[in-house]
Amino acid sequence: MTAESKAARRRRAYAVTTSVSELEALSVDESSEVRRGVAVNPSAPAGLLEVLSHDRSVGVRRAVSENPNASSATLEMLSHLRDWETRVGVILNPSSSPSVWNALVDDERLDVRLALAYHDRSELDTLDRLAVDPVKGVRQGVAGNEATRPETLVALSRDEEASVRRAVAGNLRTPVACLRTLATDEHVAVRHEIAYHPMTPPDLLVLLGRDDSSAVRRGVARHCAITQELLYLLAHDESVEVREGAAYNPLTPQALLGVLANDLSADVRLTAARNPRCDLISLQRLALDESAEVRSVVGSCCGATPEILDRLARDPVPLVRAKVALNATTGQLNLEQLARDVEQTVRYGVAANPSCPSELFASLLGDSNRDVRQAMASNARLTPELAVQISFDEDWEMRAAVARCASVPVSVLSDLASDKVVGVRQATARNPSVTPAILERLAADVNFRVRFNVASHTAVTIEILDRLRRDCSSGVREMAEHRRREFDPS
């Protein structure tokens, strides 16, 4: 009988379907790569991981430190090993207890202390000690950590390093009194963070609205707590980026937006056109703007009238016509005209338009450009009959496109979940209409990207997430752990 190759043994070691007895046999394999596969396997029991935690290979021990199945005793032992990456693995392990890794607060390795400083489960006393670390990067991590106590943030706001003070200024838990102090900091980057901080009070915004830095004033102009008086002043600021900030603000009144829509700067006019409060008179004027980019924004605006869209549908610049083609409010006659456009980007817009008339489906699915055909296959208005037809297409990208379609029948999604091409299964796992039963199958897929999509899906069940929390891929485990907390925040 032919001996099994190392590559085959390695695949079995990593496979989530490998039995415990097989994993035990593979755990003593001569190849460290195979033993590492066992160490990361979500099916590996705690007892087997305890044995592998004493493996002669550093890579195997590191893999054990990251496996959520590892026991507290095993993680405790690994936290004392000389290899710093193993100690970091213990810190990042979702099953490890802070009481185990918080003892590493005085670790000689910077990477270990950084992992603690940025970790949202670090204990308050640990963060307090790291707040006086001699390395500014560690203090910066504590300053930006929302688990840090307010009193510690106040102390860090007086740090000699501007990067640390800037992290405090951006922390959502920083007390308002501390924000007031940092608003007069000598470094622009610190004041910039205060200007954008959601808890900055209106009176402090008035102070920052007079700042010498246009970047700071721009942040004030975009702030949701700005007063109308200050907004009016900044809308007439000498700096283009400050006026652009005022044009962006959803609180800017229509009359003031009208002024900004007539600004000398195309960037300001462009931002005003994007503002949902931009009035019809301003849109009509911007539809005639000399800048094609401005006209394209108007073409994509849901508030544009049929007359405006009709004009822009005949614009000489393809970008403008493409935006009109993608606009859900564009009329059928204009879409029929744009579906025959010589530019494929314009036809693509029609194919992707959520209001695309069914009369155009056949011609767009037969378009000479693949991107156009794929856009049509992904369109939510695609009929079930066409979805079934496309699911058998020889081009796997067409099958992937229909797998992304929100209106595709569940029976088609079920078939696509078994497609031989990974890209099709990935698309299926992201489909908003996919059922828990299909996700259950995809959760056992050999490709980690498919399993990651399952973990991040809104329809994923607690049972699937609990399985994926023990996945061999750290990315899948982290996503599953994050989603699991959404079900049970405690």
For the stretch 171-188, pLDDT in tens is: 999 999 999 999 999 999
d(CA 157, CA 173) in angstroms, rounded, equals 12
Alpha-carbon distance values, 359 to 341, 351, 399 (Å): 16, 12, 22
The pLDDT value recorded for residue 358 is: 86
Contact present, 216 and 240 (Cβ < 8 Å): no
Contact present, 428 and 438 (Cβ < 8 Å): yes
Contact present, 110 and 135 (Cβ < 8 Å): yes
A 10 A CB-CB count for 379 gives 26
Domain count, the chain: 1
Q: Give the closest residue to 375 by CA, choosing from 392, 394, 360.
A: 360
Distance of CA 75 to the CA centre of its chain: 30
pLDDT at 114 over 90: yes
What is the number of residues in the chain? 490
Q: Flag whether 109 is in a domain.
A: no
The pLDDT value recorded for residue 283 is: 96
A 10 A CB-CB count for 224 gives 9
Over residues 16-32, the mean pLDDT reads 92
Q: Flag whether 328 is in a domain.
A: no
Residue 252's identity, in one-letter code, is T
Q: Kindly state the tokens that stand for 54.
A: 């004493």
d(CA 485, CA 490) in angstroms, rounded, equals 7
Residues 6+ away with beta carbon under 8 Å from 201: 176, 225
The pLDDT value recorded for residue 490 is: 56
How confident is the model over 50-96, as pLDDT tens digits? 999 999 999 999 999 999 999 999 999 999 999 999 999 999 998 88
8-state DSSP, 109: -
Q: Both ends of the chain: CA-CA distance in Å?
A: 54
Q: Is the dihedral of CA 17, 22, 23, 29 positive or negative?
A: negative
pLDDT at 1 over 50: no
d(CA 340, CA 367) in angstroms, rounded, equals 10
What is the residue whose two structure tokens read 């959803």? 250
Q: Kindly state the tokens that stand for 151.
A: 């009193």
The pLDDT value recorded for residue 489 is: 64
Work out the percent of the chain whose per-residue pLDDT is above 70: 99
pLDDT at 2 over 70: no
A 10 A CB-CB count for 222 gives 22
Q: Flag whether 121 is in a domain.
A: no
What is the residue whose two structure tokens read 């530019």? 343
Q: Kindly state the tokens that stand for 260.
A: 């900004």
d(CA 350, CA 291) in angstroms, rounded, equals 23
Range of the domain at 489: 411-490
Q: Flag whether 211 is in a domain.
A: no
Residue 419's identity, in one-letter code, is D
The pLDDT value recorded for residue 485 is: 85
Q: Where do the H-state alpha helices sit in 157-236?
A: 162-170, 176-182, 188-196, 202-208, 214-222, 228-235
Please state, rounded to an integer, the average pLDDT across all residues of the chain: 94
Distance of CA 122 to the CA centre of its chain: 24
Over residues 395-414, the mean pLDDT reads 92
Q: Flag whether 148 is in a domain.
A: no
How confident is the model over 309-361, as pLDDT tens digits? 999 999 999 999 999 999 999 999 999 999 999 999 999 999 999 999 988 98
d(CA 94, CA 466) in angstroms, rounded, equals 12
The pLDDT value recorded for residue 482 is: 87
Q: Flag whether 215 is in a domain.
A: no
The pLDDT value recorded for residue 471 is: 87
Residues 6+ away with beta carbon under 8 Å from 342: none
Q: Flag whether 468 is in a domain.
A: yes
Q: Flag whether 329 is in a domain.
A: no
Contact present, 40 and 472 (Cβ < 8 Å): yes
Over residues 363-375, the mean pLDDT reads 92
d(CA 304, CA 275) in angstroms, rounded, equals 13
